[in-house]
Chain A
């Protein structure tokens, strides 16, 4: 695999592909420009002007004094941490059960594929449909919209990602290595701690980060399943945005972007280790 692909790799002559390179560059500018603009504007000493009026930290100061936003952020963080942790725990166990699942001593591909398809359906379901379905569901079974409904919803849309990621990792490694560990005298517990865990830990940690980011990013589902007594950040931002331009939002965005960037890098490191 490696040798031919190396041969195929033509020397990167920038001149020959000028247009392609330029377009690619434009794509990345397009992707990062709004983020960059907001980061810069979070330090701009002007409320309305799109031009630079000097450097300031005042929007960050105002943000930190804004108890509404702080409370919503804390709530968001609690939901994100709780839902991603629970989803990762539940999802990893499920993925392992799926991996080990056998019917009459034979690998049961049909059941496995059905379950994986179910996960796929949940992943590709539009947020709005999931949001409405959960909204009605919680209303009908009389779960008050708020912390519990949010937590259950966020676990619901994170779980398939965890199961799919961890299962893919488990499926990747040579199934005989568990046999080998037993053959070399390891107990089931030792086999788990010394072989299985070290091999799936990267997948588990990266799926935890993934669950964390999709939880923090979610607007639509949260919008429907949260209540007035438990306000989370996206809902708070949404109501602020409707009011018009507010540089505090730039400051908030900069902080969130910094956190995303950091966790992305950690995620990238872990997935790279798996290769």
Chain B
């Protein structure tokens, strides 16, 4: 009896390259995500240096500059398109996704959701360009509206914050619909019937049963739209012209043009704060299906 003291089952021993590869699994995200994130955050507390990008010297100057140089209003302003986009996508997606999960067979539901995903998989850069073709001063929308005599002069939508928001909604709406769908699909219709059976009105049923049960999807969806939108500098460039500035554009400018890494990292901290906020809420709301 050579292996008597072995606790592992015979099979898991045969199939285990266990601890070695479990460490490999962690190693990659640790090296290429966690460590770089830590470095990035550390740099926001370091002094700017025009030769080496930063000096190994602790400072809070970058964060003070946020307030001193009137960065903060710009920064907060840059959140507005993202915020409006999140609200619009939620308002559009919530009832439509609910409608999809209640009124179609499972097979049709899968197909309808699949139709939502296809555009999302197509280059977002090129799709922003598609929006520009439609919204342009001499674009499709204006041509049609003038043709139909609804307006006499073309609407100036392109190169405004509105255009950026339209672009965001268009690009990011699948990221709202998917998490909503995965919670709503699991919502048992019998719960709604039970609420009616217990004499709840339609509004009460929504507020007391449907909304709380779909809240995880709403939370995940909202952050899935809000978080990436902050950084999509190319959408602002293509649709907003020079007028719309997102945190993404500010950060990009600091890193690639001004080459002030510490300041760029400081601006990025705001994005990380929102990420952290999301992770905390998400953890609190127990585990919902991973995307």
Closest partner residue, chain A, to B189 (CB atom): A8
Cβ A264 vs Cβ B121 within 8 A: yes
Please encode chain A, from 164 to 180, with 1 for each CB lying within 8 Å of some chain B CB and 0 for all others: 10001000000000110
With a cutoff of 8 Å between Cβ atoms, the chain B residues found around residue A234 in the complex are: 123, 125
Which of A17, A163, A188, A217 makes the CB contact (< 8 A) with B25? Answer: A163
Interface centre among A5, A24, A261 (most CB of B within 10 A): A24
CA distance A153 to B121 in the complex (A): 19
A120 contacts B290, CB within 8 Å?
A: yes
Chain B residue nearest to A106 in the complex (CB): B7
Interface residues on A, range: 35 or more
Does B223 make an interface contact (CB < 8 A)? yes
CA distance A30 to B128 in the complex (A): 13
Interface centre among A9, A102, A115 (most CB of B within 10 A): A102
A245 to B39, CA, bound (A): 40
Q: Are B119 and A35 in contact (CB under 8 A)?
A: yes
Let me know if A17 and B118 touch, CB within 8 A: no
Q: Are B189 and A135 in contact (CB under 8 A)?
A: no
Question: Known contacts being A134-B36, A136-B261, is A253 close to B143, with CB within 8 Å?
Answer: no
What residue in chain A is nearest B16 (Cβ atoms)? A100
Bound-state Cα–Cα, A13 to B17, Å: 57
Q: Which of B57-65, B210-218, B225-233 is the interface stretch?
A: B225-233
Which of A64-72, A125-133, A197-205 contacts the other chain?
A: A125-133
A5 touches B118 (CB 8 A): no
Nearest CB of A to B209, in Å: 15
A36 to chain B: closest residue by CB: B130
Interchain CB contact under 8 A, A237 and B22: no
Q: What 1/0 flags go to B216-243 for Cβ under 8 Å of A? A: 0000000110011011111001100000
Query: Which of A41, A97, A159 is B17 in contact with, Cβ under 8 Å?
Result: A97
Q: Which residue of B lies closest to A235 (CB)?
A: B125
Given A23-B96, A136-B39, A219-B125: A178 in contact with B11 (beta carbons within 8 A): yes
**Which of A's residues lie within 8 Å of B, judged by CB?**
4-5, 8-10, 12, 17, 20, 23-24, 27-28, 30-35, 37-38, 41, 48, 50-51, 90, 93-94, 96-98, 100-102, 104-105, 111, 115-116, 118-137, 139-140, 152-153, 155-156, 159-160, 163-164, 168, 178-179, 182, 188, 213, 216-217, 219-220, 223-224, 234, 237-238, 241-242, 245, 249, 252-253, 256-257, 260-261, 263-264, 268, 272
